[in-house]
Chain A
Amino acid sequence: MWHNLAQLPRYRGLVQSLVARELKARYRGSVLGFFWSFVNPLLLLTIYTFVFNTILPNANQDTRPYSVFMFCGLLPWTWFSSSLLEATGSLISGGTLIKKVLFPAEVLPIVSVLANMVHFLLGLVILAAFMIGTHHYPDLIDLPWFPVVVLVQLVFTAGLALMLSALAVHFRDIRDLLANLLTFWFFATPIIYSYLMPEVQRLYWLFRLNPFYHFVVSYQELLFFYGPFGHLRWLGPLAAASVLVFLAGYWIFDRLRDSFAEAV
C-alpha cells in the first residue's frame, strides 16, 4: 500500500490532463460552454434569493442575507456530494481503461473529486460577487484559514471517493444507496439552517459526530459570520480524521485493486 501510495504524485500529469478533459468534455457542444460553471451556481443563487427573500422571508436575523449564508454551506456540499456520486461510478464507467490499458485505477475517483473541486472554486467567484452585491464581507483576518479547510475537505472527500469507487465495483447497489444517503446527510447538516439555532444547539452532541458539520460550520464562520474563527479548535482533529479516512479508503482500494480488471 505504501509503495503504491508513494507512486501517486507521479500521476499528476495524467490527473491534470484527465481533469482538464473532464471539464472540457462536460460543456463541449453547449453554447455557453465553460460559462455554465458560473451560470449554474448563479441561477441557483438567484432562485434561493428570490424564494427566501420574497416568498418565505427568513425571520432569523443571524442568517441575513440568507442567500449568501446558504451558499457558504451549499457550495462545499455540492462539491462533496457530486464528487462522491461521480467517483462511485468512475471505475465502472472507466472499465475499458482498467481492463485494456495499464492504468493506475486510483486516478479515476481522484479525477472526479478534482473536477468537482474546480466547479467549487468557480462557484466561489459567484459567491464573491453576491457578497459584494449585498455588502456582506467576510473577516479578512481569518480568511487564510479558508484554503486549509478546503484542503482538509479534499483529503476527506478523496478518501471516501476511493473507498466507495472500489466497493461499488463489487456492490453496484452502493450507487443508489449513496444517492439516498446523501439526501439524508444534506438535511442532517446545518446548510440551509443555521447551526446557531437553539434546536441544533440542543442536539449538539449528535451533530458534532457528523464530520461535514464541522466543515460547514468552518466555512460559515470564515465566510459569513463576523467574529473570530471559533471552530478553529476543531480543525486539527478534523484534519487528522480526514487523513485517517483517506488512508482507510486507500487501503480498501488497494486491497481490491487486483479484482478491478476482472470484476468491472
Chain B
Amino acid sequence: MSPAATASVRQAPAIELAHVSKVYRRYGGRHFATLKSALLSGSLIRDLRPEETFQALRDVSFTVAPGQTLGVIGRNGSGKSTALKLVAGITKATSGSVAVRGRVSALIELGAGFHPEISGRENVFINGIMLGLTKREIQRRFDEIVEFAELREFIDAPVKTYSSGMYMRLGFSVAIHVDPDVLLVDEVLAVGDEGFTHKCLDKFGEFKRRGKTILLVTHSLGLVERFCDDAIWLDAGVKRAEGDPKRVVGAYITDVERQEERFLAASDARTTHDAAAPAAADGPLPAETGAADMAQATEGRWGSGGVTIGSVSLLGADGQATHLFHTGEPFTAHFNVHADRPVTDFVFGIGLFSADGVCVYGTNTDVEEYAAESLQGDAEVSLSIDALDLVEGTYKLDVAVHRRDGAPYDYHRFLYTFRVKSRLKDVGIYRPKHRWTFTGGARLKPKP
C-alpha cells in the first residue's frame, strides 16, 4: 500500500479489488446449426459455453481510500478498461471480489444512450435518469449542466445536429453532475478542445478538494504524475507496479523504452537483411542509378562494391549499442568497412534524417577536409556527436562510402532507425542549447 493511502484516515476503502481475475469469453460464430442442435438436445443454456477465453486481468488487487485519486496506466490491452468496468459494475469479475462504496459515475463512453432524434434537453433528463438521478435532481442541476457543456443556445436542438465535440461535452457534463462519491474516468479528456479539457481538469480538481474518490485510466502520463495520489501499472492483466505516481510512471516509461528498443533492433535487422540479400547474390552491388542523388528518399542499399559497409551500430552514452537516445546525450554511429583491394579514392559519409525524410544533418570526410590516403582490408569508422540536440521523434540514418566524385561503393539509405526521447514536448527537429532570461515585470519559476 502506498504511503499516501495509509496516511489517510482509517476508513473503509472507497474501492477495493481483492485478487480479481477476469476471463473474457469469446462466443464464437454460432449459427443456425448450433441453435437447432441446442434446441433439439434441449440444452440451450448449457451450450452457451464459450469456445475460447481471454484473460484480461490476473489476480489484481488494489484499494483506493476515500478522497484519493488513483491513476491506472498501461499499454493498450493491458486490462485498464476492464478494471474500470469491474469497478463500475458493468461486468463481473470471474474470481475475486470487487467492493465499491458510494455512488459511482463512470465516464467511460460519453453520451452513451443519447438518442439522436430528440433534443439535448430531453436527452439530459433521460441520461441523468439512466445514471441514477431522479427527475427533480436533474431539474435542479439542469442549468448548471447546460452551462458547463456550453450548449445554452443548442439545448433544444436534436442531438443528431450536434458536432461530436458538443455531444461529448453534453455527455461529460451530465455524467459529472451526477455528483458521485466515486468517479471513474476512462481516457475521456482526449475529447473536446483545449479549453474544455482545462474545464474538465478543474472539475476533477474540485472533486478532489471535496474529498471524492477518482479512478483515472489514461495514457497521459503527465496527468497521472500531476494529478494522482497513487498509481498502478497494469501490463497484460498483471499489476506490475503500484505506489507513488512518479515512480510508477518512471518504471512504465523504462519498460516502454526497452520494448521500443527491441522493436527497433528487430526492424533494423530486417531492413539490413533485406537490403543485403541481392548484393550477396550477384557479387557487385546493384546499379549505380541515381546513386549520388541525396534527395532520393527511398530506403535501400546500392553501390559498385569493392568497398562494403559491414555492421552498423549506434552507441549511447555508455558505449553500448542502443536505438534509444535522450535529447542532449552523446551519440556515436559506428560501422565496419571492408575493402576487397586497396583504394585511395574514398569518402565516408553519414546523414541523419527525420522520419518524414528531412535531412537533419549530413556530412562526410571530404567536406570536412580529410584527405583520403589509403583503405585496405578491414577498418572501423565512427562519428561521435557530443550532444544529440534533437527533439523527440524517430530518425533515420544514412551511412555511405563513396568516391570523391560521389560514385558510391556502398550506400545504405535509411536502413537504420533510432528514437530520440525527451522529457519536454518542444517541437521542430533541432533543439539548440538555450536558456530563458526574464527581467522587469515578468516573473516565472520552474515547475516542480
Contact = CB atoms under 8 A, between A and B. Distances in A.
Interface of A: 13-14, 17-18, 21, 24-25, 28-29, 96-103, 167, 170-171, 173-174, 252, 255-256, 258-259, 261-263
Contacts, number: 84
B113 interface: yes
Interface residues of B, number: 36
B442 interface: no
B30 A25 contact: no
B90 A17 contact: no
B17 interface: no
Contact of A255 (B31, B45, B91): B45
B362 to A, nearest CB: 52
A102 B48 contact: no
Contacts of A255: 45
Contact of A25 (B48, B113, B118): B118
B112 interface: yes
Contacts of B131: 101
Interface in B13-32: 24-25, 27, 30-32
B91 A100 contact: no
Given A13-B129, A28-B118, A99-B90, 8 more contacts: A13-B134, A21-B122, A97-B113, A101-B113, A101-B130, A102-B88, A259-B25, A259-B48
Contacts of A99: 90, 109
A170 B26 CA distance: 11
Given A29-B117, A102-B106, A171-B35, A17 B129 contact: yes
Nearest to A169: B27
B112 A21 contact: no
Contacts of A25: 115, 117-118
B24 A100 contact: no
Given A13-B134, A18-B126, A24 B27 contact: no
B112 A28 contact: no
Contacts of B108: 100-101
B164 to A, nearest CB: 15
Given A21-B118, A171-B30, A102 B112 contact: no
Interface in B80-114: 85, 88-92, 104, 106, 108-109, 112-113
A163 to B, nearest CB: 10
Nearest to B38: A171
Contacts of B30: 170-171
Given A24-B122, A173-B32, A100 B90 contact: yes
Contact of B25 (A28, A174, A262): A262
A74 B277 CA distance: 78
B129 A28 contact: no
B52 to A, nearest CB: 12
B170 to A, nearest CB: 15
27 contacts: A13-B134, A17-B126, A17-B129, A21-B118, A24-B118, A25-B115, A25-B117, A28-B118, A29-B117, A97-B130, A99-B109, A100-B108, A100-B112, A101-B90, A101-B113, A101-B131, A102-B104, A170-B30, A171-B34, A171-B38, A173-B31, A173-B32, A173-B35, A174-B35, A256-B45, A256-B48, A262-B24
Nearest to B125: A17
B89 A100 contact: no
A258 B118 contact: no
Interface string B119-148: 000100110011100110000000000000
B317 interface: no
B252 to A, nearest CB: 26
B233 to A, nearest CB: 24
A101 B118 CA distance: 20
A205 B24 CA distance: 49
A263 B28 CA distance: 9
B158 interface: yes
Given A100-B108, A170-B27, A252-B45, A262 B135 contact: no
A249 to B, nearest CB: 13
A199 B227 CA distance: 79
B12 interface: no
Which 4 pairs from chain A and chain B are nearest by CB?
A100-B109, A25-B117, A100-B112, A28-B117
A96 B117 CA distance: 17
A44 B48 CA distance: 42
B294 interface: no
Nearest to A263: B27
B251 interface: no
B27 A102 contact: no
A96 B108 CA distance: 10
A87 B184 CA distance: 31
